[in-house]
Structure 1
Amino acid sequence: MKIALIGDLHYPSVVINRPEVLKARDAFFEHLLTAFLQTEADFHISIGDLTNVGELSEFAYVFNKVQSCGERVRFIHVMGNHDTYTNAKAEVLAATGQEPYGLIEADEANLILLDTARETVTDWSGFMEDEQLAWLENAVRQHPDKPLLVFAHHPIYGTTARSQETMMSLHESVDLRSILNQHNGTGLYFNGHNHINSIVEEAGWYYVQTAAPLDMPAFRLITIQNGQVDVELVQLEDEKVKEWADIVSRHMPFYEPYAPAAGDEFSLSLSVRTKQGYSIVDEASR
């Protein structure tokens, strides 16, 4: 089983109206999305901030790319805070045909998709309503013998890089840890939001954070087979792509480039043996 994972795409319908910026935007997102969607995977998952300001035209751009791939691509998007800047969640979900949260029971693992976004531009921390938390508690208990992969936009406070900064995590009042820890098997929690790669192990759970492609043109590929979960970083090495990303990120609203996006050497990849134990390996050791 393979999952292609992208976070914080921030596709902008509005950038500085200069020919070189518009050209760079179109070229960068065409190149990145083509590479992402052409990657063979059972699921292609976006962990929030797919759009820069939540305009329906921004969603339409990405979903048109997805639809052009036909049934080969099963695309799933969980909500990020930027995705609700312009329209309410209900309007976005109606336009995209997505669900707010859900459970996918596959042979190799259970996948849980969470909605941690608020509907406000003034508080970009994460939050979850009691109804979703009650649903999650039941979902976590399903098939404890299988790996559990959770996908959300916001990190849990005090886990991955920058998650202790103001509004850079799920609000501390949401006790997600106690729910996740009810799962006795292998658990991995994937998030974005903080624009820097980071991998942290805590109490048997692995927290995997993915940088924004505008800061580091890349996405993650998750492979689950033979009792092992491997997470790798697929980087776009073309210098032209990096140049386009730099131009766009410096000429769009509501976005600040984050130079340390790559993170440390332990944030690039992860290998978890679901039966015999756990081990982290860096990209250089592959």
Structure 2
Amino acid sequence: MAIIAQLSDVHLAAGRDGEVDDGSGPVRALRAAVSSLLSLPARPDAVVITGDLADGGRPAEYARLHALLSPLPMAVYPMCGNHDDRDEMRKVFDDHAVVAETGVSPRAPVQYAVDVAGVRLVCCDTTVDGHAHGHMNEERLAWLDRTLAASPDVPTIIATHHPPYRTGMRFIDDLRFVDPTGFASVISRHPQVVRVISGHVHRASVGSLAGTVSTTCPSTYRQLYLDLSSQGRAAYTGEPAGFAVHVVGEDGSVTTHFAPTGNYRPLMDAE
């Protein structure tokens, strides 16, 4: 069994002085998320962070994030979102070999694959420079196809920042993964893909793509208002922050749990 925890949409923000305030909401929220992961009875084998690590893509934001993640004893795999700067992220996470290796050229996609307790985790870069929406061009899709073809018998989770399905939330769907048909076509050729996990939505949701279950993760910081009306108001709520935990069985079956941050202890034994 493999356990992969997912954090997303951290949005650490630097102030006018260029530094991150340790008392800020995103900092406190990330500390709570890290503490929550460490308090789980069965600790995850790895943690993937599906984008929007920083709010402005500034060096100080990534430096503070790196420090806040340091208590986690397991491997941590950061990914880019539309708020991130690929090159600045690489500079700070240069101790993460898989991230550093993606820096062959400036602005190169941050995309890589790693093995986690017998499961393949494939991290894709769906960001588009200067835009909030997501997309995977032919070059990125070809990389994904080759990567999946290299391990056809290993249960695989694909991670993206932008979800490849419509959520019904107009604010998010206007900033969606544009034209995911090529992405779906690649996945349909590789039946070992057991789950697609994403961020960007700032709340949990479940969809499907090419016959594969696809999910989004709550933000470690703020959740978006669930407005499914045609107007689609863009607003944050007071809902608790959270994270996701993906459990992959030896038979390749996957169960996803969504949990609020906080160290919740058993109050009584269930009967």
Of 194, 199, 217 in structure 2, the residue corresponding to residue 210 of structure 1 is 217
**1:142-200 CA distance string (max 9 Å, x none):** 33333220001011143x44389554222217621101111123521100112221112
- Asked if residue 44 in structure 1 is aligned to residue 44 in structure 2, the reply is no
- Counterpart in 2 of 1:110? 120
Structure 2 counterpart of 1:178: 185
Does the aligned pair in 1 maintain the 2:165–2:207 contact within 8 Å?
A: no
- In structure 2, the CA distance between the partners of 1:220 and 1:108, relative to structure 1 (3 Å rule), is same
Shift of residue 108 of structure 1?
3.0
Q: Does 1:95 align with 2:119?
A: no
Q: Does 1:140 align with 2:163?
A: no
Q: Which has the higher helix share?
A: 1
Work out whether residues 189 and 205 of structure 1, in 8 Å CA contact, stay in contact via their aligned partners in 2. Answer: yes
Question: What is the letter of the counterpart of residue 150 of structure 1?
Answer: I
C-alpha distance in 2, partners of 1:23/1:173?
36
Query: Could you give the per-residue CA deviations for residues 39-78 of structure 1, whole angstroms, max 9, x where no partner exists?
Result: 5211111000011111111111111122344xx2211111
Write the distance in 1 (CA, Å) between the matches of 2:79 and 2:202.
16
Structure 2 partner of 1:283: none
TM-score, normalised on structure 2? Answer: 0.73
SS in 2 for 1:65: helix
| Identical pairs, percent | 20
1:256-283, CA deviations, whole angstroms, 9 ceiling, x for partnerless residues? Answer: xxxxxxxxxxxxxxxxxxxxxxxxxxxx
Asked if residue 169 in structure 1 is aligned to residue 176 in structure 2, the reply is: yes
Query: In 2, are the aligned partners of 1:128 and 1:174 still within 8 Å (CA)?
Result: no
Runs of 4+ in 1 over 6 A off after TM superposition: none
CA distance in 2, matches of 1:189, 1:173: 13
The residue number in structure 2 matching 1:198 is: 205
The answer to whether the 8 A contact 2:165-2:208 is kept is no
Q: Is the 8 A contact 1:127 1:174 kept in 2?
A: no
Partners of 1:204 and 1:57 lie apart in 2 by: 41
Matched, 1:150 2:158: yes
Distance 1:44 1:107, change over 3 A: closer
Q: 1:230 aligned to 2:255?
A: yes
Amino acid in structure 2 at the alignment position of 1:27: R
Question: What letter is aligned with 1:56?
Answer: P
Count of aligned positions:
226
* Unmatched tracts of structure 2, length 5 or more: 17-21, 103-109, 224-239, 265-271
Which range is displaced more, 41-50 or 160-169?
160-169
Shift of the 206–124 alpha-carbon distance from structure 1 to 2, 3 Å rule, reads same
Contact residue 58 and residue 88 of structure 2 kept, 8 A: no
Structure 1 stretches lacking a partner, 5+ long:
16-20, 240-286
Moved more, 108-117 or 208-217: 208-217
SS in 2 for 1:190: strand
Please say if 1:61 is aligned against 2:71.
no
CA deviations 1:106-147 (Å, max 9, x no partner) are 553221100111221xx2001224322211111222333332
Q: Is the 8 A contact 1:118 1:127 kept in 2?
A: yes
- What is the CA RMSD across the aligned residues, in angstroms? 2.8
Per-residue deviation, 1:221: 1.1
Bigger mean CA deviation after superposition, 51-60 or 164-173? 164-173
